[in-house]
């Protein structure tokens, strides 16, 4: 289908229409005169900052591409339902940083991308100043995680756009008072009075009132909580002060005990310092003893020096002798190395001589062995020659010839016969296996066709439908208990022949219906419904008439051929008429089921009135078969094609119908599937199976015959092989003896060759010469050793002399060393005694210092020395201890509850801290109260002034309606006790609210606007008038209202539109005198900008000269754009207007009087 986009903008005329004043009464002029400009053409309308200048959309919902030029004043967006009016409102919201939740449509921006496209683009121009605009561009892509934003062709983030739109241009798309989308009209009416106050504050100027109110609510709650905390703190402080009074008796006893403990502490200090003084005296005595020992040790230590010098002199002699001894020993080692080398050479010569002698012996032994071996081989050859002579050579030749004849003749023929039989056997086996496979395939195919019902049941009751399966088992188990027939589940009773038919039925029949049941008896129906409820199973259970039950009991339940059930079904159109336009029939004809099932589906789903076609049809054919006028007979109201579902609904605004187009949903796991009939295929396959069985029997008979022939062939081959084996044994025995004889002869020849090559006499002479050479070398070595013997003896003698001298010097050194060690031992004992004395001295010093430190730490001398009397200083240690024990006994007599004392001390600290904290809290509370009063003094007057302005304008608007009144009240005090005492009945800041009160008849009491108190039309009127009243206190650049006239009656709708046009008509308060002088100078008119979405324009309504109309003519069922002629449409409308003005004077006067009456009512 071709989708066309058309936006027609009826440009406003700058000059006032002359036809509006001709023939109109003076009263009509007076109604418009107050506050309006007499000649708007003298003024030039200009955008205000933040107003929308231009909107461009690409791939947006239903639009391919469109551009909308906006104007100041009233912008009316009208067109048929479903053409895309609200899509433009959505584009304004999302293009200015709004969220989908502000619209109530879709969960994410990608939901607004046109079907089949990957991205959508929104581009908006906002007026800045002096002809300049700010360009905001948003690109929404299905592939990206977030949108791309551009501000004046510069890439920015979403937060930057939101900050720019809200702070720089004062646009609040999430505020219901500025942006009221179609799906949020009821949400505005559901706002509570508190929420209405918040939304109104947000809409006023720069949110300052809302910020002050939010501060007051938060600070008020904090102040209330703080006041409660202060009262609790005061109560706790009083309780602690009362408790501390009850603890004073215990504290008096505690003070007495404390005093005695102080006296005891004085004596304890005296005791500690007396012990310290005694320890100091012991330390001084030990110090004198240590100094005496130190002098004795120094004197003894000086006698060690001379002995050490003498011991060093003998040590030097020992070292010098040791050096000479090492040199002599080195010479001796050199002669030892020479002797060792000569010895090794002699050993080597002896070993070589012995090896040569061994070789001579081995050569003689080898010669004797070869002679012996030759004799053995010659004897074996003689025996083998005798054995060969026993064989008959002619008989051997005959055996070889017979072997050749058997191998090439009978045995070869038998093997060929065996191979032929094997080939035939394999061929028969292959044919048998092939036939067997074909039989198995036929059996599997038959089993598959016969189990089609089980397969269908498995698809219907999959793993996600366990409850439905259990319910079916229950029905099957109790089927004999039912009074009538129970059919179901319905999907199992239905048979579909084609997949397309299954897709049609799956798209129009819900799962609850497909898994439902049909009962022919009321008691059965109640039992089935009750059990389904017990299982918490959501399915449809239907009942049928008794006629259906009787008719179906006479036929088989599994026979789905409905041709036997002749029943008249009323159709919207005849089949011939449908077929002529390409429609194939109705949905109840594309499946087979029992008649009762068909009747239930027709009665509840209307399948007998829904058409289908197996291919797509043209637009003209759709117009011929689908209803085009509300209530049209003999036309379809629903049609299914392979890709789409067409539905017809009556319009609420005219006699036209709304045609909706939805995609045909194809489920990934459909419930209803194709059920084919395989009876003919089963019969054909059974014939094939019978023929194959005959063929299998013939192959088995042929196989048995071949096996018999193979047995005979095997017996014949065994007989031939036995004869061949006997001949081969004779030949093998002769060949074995002949081979052994040949091998022995070869061994004899090789042995003779070895005897000729090895001469024992020559080898003996060579080895004897080599032995003599080695003996000469040995004699030379002995001569050299004899010449060096004297030098070796001198070296040994010198080593002995040096060893004796070293021993003598070492003995002298040892004697002096022993004397030195004895003297050192005596000095060491004296030193140990000195160190022991020093340790005792150090220990006494440490004890004295520890006692002094302890006394200074626990009992400082300066503090307690003044408390000791002269008698106290004369006391001994035991006397001081007796006094301490006496005081301790008196203290022990006093029983003091330490927990009460600790409680008293803690309470003292707690009370001090509580008093300090209470003072801080009171000071902080006073500061908070001052801040609240300061903010309240700014917020409350401005809020009351704003509400008064809104209420005045709201009441003024309501005066346009007959006998209707309206007011807006700011509720800040409790209603029931306001007159009694205002200071105590003022509500908390979070409880302040705005109440919209209306009465559409004078005799009615005032009613607060709520979601349930008024009718839909009254709520719509009140909501729209409140939004218009907000203009008095807000400076937002534009407002958006989407189909607010829904639910209004024609008279209220006309009055609302009249007020809206009045608000957008140039008036004196809008004039901005910036024009230059001269007769033709025109002042600039600043107008508000409204975007109002409405399905139609009201006839005979005087629209503002600053109004723009945008007709959305978009969709597959609208006139193509190339057929639309704007001039022809205007000419036609002019002709209709002229015809209406030329009617009889009577009707003209009647209409004129009626118009006057309406004007009087509106003026009242």
Contact 131, 66 (CB under 8 A): no
pTM for the model stands at 0.43
Please give the order of strands across the beta sheet that includes 154-156.
63-69, 52-60, 119-129, 132-141, 148-151, 154-156
The helix (H) or strand (E) run that includes residue 1000 is: none
d(CA 516, CA 538): 9
pLDDT in tens, 723-779: 778 877 877 877 887 887 788 777 877 777 776 666 666 666 677 777 777 777 777
Given a contact cutoff of 8 angstroms between Cβ atoms, the answer to whether 1085 and 1069 are in contact is no
CA 381 – CA 744 distance, rounded (Å): 6
Helix or strand (DSSP H, E) at 114: none
Q: For residue 1117, what pLDDT is reported?
A: 62
C-beta of residue 274 within 8 angstroms of C-beta of residue 874:
no
Check if the beta carbon of residue 540 is closer than 8 Å to that of residue 516.
yes
Residue whose C-alpha is closest to residue 834's, from 295, 67, 424, 112? 295
Q: Are 106 and 100 in contact (CB under 8 A)?
A: yes
Q: By 3-state DSSP, what share of the chain in percent is helix, strand and coil, each rounded to 5?
A: 65, 10, 25
Beta strands 1089-1094 and 1038-1042, pairing class: parallel
Q: What is the 3-state secondary structure (H, E, C) of 138-205?
A: EEEECCCCCCEEEECCEEECHHHHHHHHHHHCCCCCCCCCCEECHHHHHHHHCCCHHHHHHHHHHHCC
Rounded Cα–Cα distance for residues 392 and 396 (Å): 6
Helix axis angle, 305-388 to 760-787, nearest 10°? 170
Helix (H) or strand (E) holding 77: strand 73-78
Helices 193-203 and 208-245 cross at an angle (nearest 10°) of: 130
The answer to whether 242 and 895 have CB atoms below 8 angstroms apart is no
CA distances from 441 to 438, 455, 457, 735 (A): 5, 19, 24, 63
CB 521 within 8 A of CB 483: yes
The mean pLDDT values, 10 residues at a time, for the chain of 1164 residues are 31 32 34 48 75 92 89 87 84 88 76 88 90 90 82 90 85 75 63 82 75 85 86 86 77 78 80 83 84 79 75 80 79 76 79 77 76 79 76 75 77 82 87 87 77 72 85 90 90 86 89 92 92 92 64 42 54 90 91 91 91 89 87 88 88 74 79 71 81 87 85 83 79 80 79 67 70 74 70 74 78 80 82 84 85 83 80 80 81 74 83 88 88 87 86 83 82 62 66 85 78 71 80 80 73 80 70 49 71 82 81 70 72 74 49 44 41
Q: Are 935 and 948 in contact (CB under 8 A)?
A: no
- Smallest CA-to-CA distance from 491 within 464, 453, 529, 523 is with 453
- The contacts of residue 1081 (CB under 8 Å, 6+ apart) are 1075
Determine the Cα–Cα distance for residues 740 and 377; give it in Å rounded to an integer: 11
H or E element at residue 646? strand 644-650
Cα separation of 1156 and 499, whole Å? 67
* Whole-angstrom distance, CA of residue 934 vs CA of residue 955: 32
Cα Dmax for the chain: 179
Position 527 scores a pLDDT of 92
State the DSSP code for 61: T
């Amino acid at each position: 289908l071709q989708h066309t986009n058309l936006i027609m903008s009826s440009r406003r005329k700058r000059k006032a229409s002359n036809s509006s004043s001709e023939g109109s009464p003076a009263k009509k002029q007076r109604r418009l005169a107050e506050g309006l400009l007499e000649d708007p053409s003298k003024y030039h309308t200009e955008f205000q900052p933040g107003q929308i200048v231009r909107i461009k959309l690409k791939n947006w919902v239903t639009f391919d591409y469109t551009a909308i030029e906006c104007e100041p004043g009233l912008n009316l967006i009208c067109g048929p339902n479903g053409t895309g009016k609200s899509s433009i409102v959505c584009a304004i919201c999302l293009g200015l940083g709004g969220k989908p939740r502000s619209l109530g449509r879709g969960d994410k921006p990608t939901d607004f991308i046109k079907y089949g496209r990957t991205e959508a683009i929104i581009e908006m121009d906002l007026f800045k100043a002096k002809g300049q605009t700010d360009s905001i561009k948003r690109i929404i892509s299905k592939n990206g995680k977030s949108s791309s934003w551009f501000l004046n062709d510069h890439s920015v983030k979403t937060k930057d756009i939101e900050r720019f739109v809200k702070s720089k241009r004062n646009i609040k798309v999430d505020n219901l008072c500025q942006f009221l989308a179609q799906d949020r009209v009821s949400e505005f009416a559901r706002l509570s009075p508190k929420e209405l106050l918040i939304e109104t504050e947000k809409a006023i100027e720069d949110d300052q009132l809302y910020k002050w109110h939010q501060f007051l609510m938060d600070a008020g709650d904090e102040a209330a909580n703080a006041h409660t905390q202060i009262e609790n703190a005061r109560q706790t402080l009083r309780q602690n002060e009362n408790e501390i009074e009850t603890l004073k008796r215990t504290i008096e006893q505690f003070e007495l005990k404390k005093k005695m403990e102080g006296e005891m502490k004085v004596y304890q200090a005296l005791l500690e310092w007396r012990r310290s003084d005694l320890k100091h005296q012991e330390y001084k005595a030990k110090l004198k003893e240590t100094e005496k020992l130190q002098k004795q040790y120094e004197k003894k230590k000086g006698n060690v020096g001379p002995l050490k010098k003498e011991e060093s002199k003998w040590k030097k002699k020992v070292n010098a002798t040791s050096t000479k001894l090492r040199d002599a020993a080195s010479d001796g080692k050199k002669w030892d190395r020479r002797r060792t080398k000569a010895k090794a050479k002699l050993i080597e010569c002896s070993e070589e001589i012995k090896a040569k002698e061994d070789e001579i012996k081995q050569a003689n032994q080898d010669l004797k062995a070869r002679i012996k071996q030759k004799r053995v081989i010659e004897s074996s050859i003689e025996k083998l020659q005798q054995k060969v002579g026993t064989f008959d050579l002619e008989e051997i030749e005959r055996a070889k010839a017979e072997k050749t004849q058997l191998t090439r003749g009978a045995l070869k023929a038998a093997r060929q016969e065996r191979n032929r039989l094997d080939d035939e056997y394999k061929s028969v086996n292959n044919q048998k296996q092939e036939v067997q496979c074909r039989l198995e395939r036929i059996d599997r195919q038959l089993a598959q066709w016969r189990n089609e019902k089980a397969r269908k049941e498995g698809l219907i009751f999959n793993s996600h439908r366990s409850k439905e399966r259990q319910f079916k088992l229950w029905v099957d188990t109790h089927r004999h208990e039912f009074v009538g027939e129970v059919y179901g589940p319905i999907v199992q009773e239905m048979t579909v022949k084609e997949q397309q038919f299954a897709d049609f039925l799956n798209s129009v029949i819900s799962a609850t219906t497909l898994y439902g049941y049909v009962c022919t008896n009321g008691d059965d129906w109640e039992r089935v419904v009750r059990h389904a409820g017990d299982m918490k199973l959501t399915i449809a259970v239907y009942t049928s008439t008794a006629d259906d039950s009787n008719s179906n009991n006479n036929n088989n339940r599994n026979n789905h051929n409905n041709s036997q059930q002749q029943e008249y079904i009323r159709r919207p159109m005849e089949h011939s008429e449908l077929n002529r336009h390409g429609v194939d029939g109705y949905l109840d004809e594309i499946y087979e089921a029992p008649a009762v099932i068909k009747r239930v589906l027709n009665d509840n789903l209307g399948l007998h009135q829904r058409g289908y076609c197996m291919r797509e049809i043209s637009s003209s054919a759709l117009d011929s078969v689908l209803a085009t006028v509300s209530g049209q007979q003999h036309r379809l109201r629903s049609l299914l094609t392979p890709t789409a579902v067409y539905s017809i609904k009556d319009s609420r605004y005219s006699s036209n119908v709304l045609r909706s187009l939805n995609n045909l949903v194809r489920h990934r796991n459909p419930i209803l599937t194709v059920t084919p009939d395989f009876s003919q295929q089963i019969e054909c396959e059974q014939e094939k199976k019978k023929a194959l069985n005959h063929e299998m029997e013939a192959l088995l008979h042929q196989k048995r015959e071949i096996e018999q022939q193979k047995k005979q062939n095997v017996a014949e081959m065994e007989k031939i092989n036995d004869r061949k084996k006997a001949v081969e044994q004779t030949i093998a025995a002769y060949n074995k003896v002949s081979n052994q004889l040949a091998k022995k002869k070869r061994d004899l020849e090789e042995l003779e060759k070895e005897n000729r090559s090895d001469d024992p006499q020559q080898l003996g002479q060579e080895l004897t010469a080599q032995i003599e050479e080695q003996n000469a070398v040995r004699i030379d070595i002995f001569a050299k050793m004899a010449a060096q013997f004297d030098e070796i003896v001198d070296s040994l003698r010198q080593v002995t002399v040096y060893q004796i001298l070293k021993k003598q010097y070492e003995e002298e050194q040892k004697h002096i060393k022993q004397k030195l060690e004895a003297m050192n031992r005596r000095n060491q004992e004296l030193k140990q005694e000195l160190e022991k004395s020093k340790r005792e001295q150090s220990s006494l010093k440490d004890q004295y210092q520890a006692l002094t430190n302890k006394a200074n730490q626990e009992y400082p001398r300066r503090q307690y020395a003044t408390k000791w009397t002269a008698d106290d200083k004369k006391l001994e240690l035991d006397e001081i201890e007796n006094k301490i024990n006496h005081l301790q006994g008196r203290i022990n007599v006093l029983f003091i509850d330490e927990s009460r004392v600790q409680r008293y001390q803690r309470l003292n600290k707690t009370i001090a801290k509580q008093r300090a904290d209470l003072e801080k809290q009171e000071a902080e509370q006073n500061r908070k109260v001052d801040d609240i009063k300061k903010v309240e003094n700014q917020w409350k007057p401005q809020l009351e002034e704003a509400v008064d302005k809104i209420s005045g304008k709201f009441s003024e608007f309501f005066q346009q309606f007959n006998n209707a009144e309206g007011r807006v009240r700011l509720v800040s005090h409790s209603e029931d006790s306001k007159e009694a005492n205002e200071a105590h009945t003022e509500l908390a800041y979070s409880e302040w609210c705005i109440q919209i009160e209306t009465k559409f008849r004078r005799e009615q009491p005032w009613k607060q606007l709520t979601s349930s108190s008024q009718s839909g039309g009254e709520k719509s009127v009140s909501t729209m008038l409140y939004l218009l009243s907000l203009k008095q206190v807000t400076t937002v650049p534009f407002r958006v209202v989407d189909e607010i006239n829904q639910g209004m009656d024609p008279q209220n709708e006309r009055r609302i539109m009249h007020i809206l046009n009045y608000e957008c008509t140039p008036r004196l308060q809008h004039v901005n005198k910036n024009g230059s002088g001269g007769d033709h100078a025109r002042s600039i008119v600043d107008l508000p900008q409204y975007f109002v979405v409405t399905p139609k324009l009201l006839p005979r309504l005087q629209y503002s000269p600053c109004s723009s109309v945008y007709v959305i003519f978009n969709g597959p069922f609208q006139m193509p754009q190339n057929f639309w002629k704007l001039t022809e449409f205007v000419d036609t409308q002019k002709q209709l207007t002229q015809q209406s003005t030329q009617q009889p004077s009577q009707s003209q006067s009647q209409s004129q009087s009626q118009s006057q009456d309406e004007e009087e009512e509106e003026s009242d």
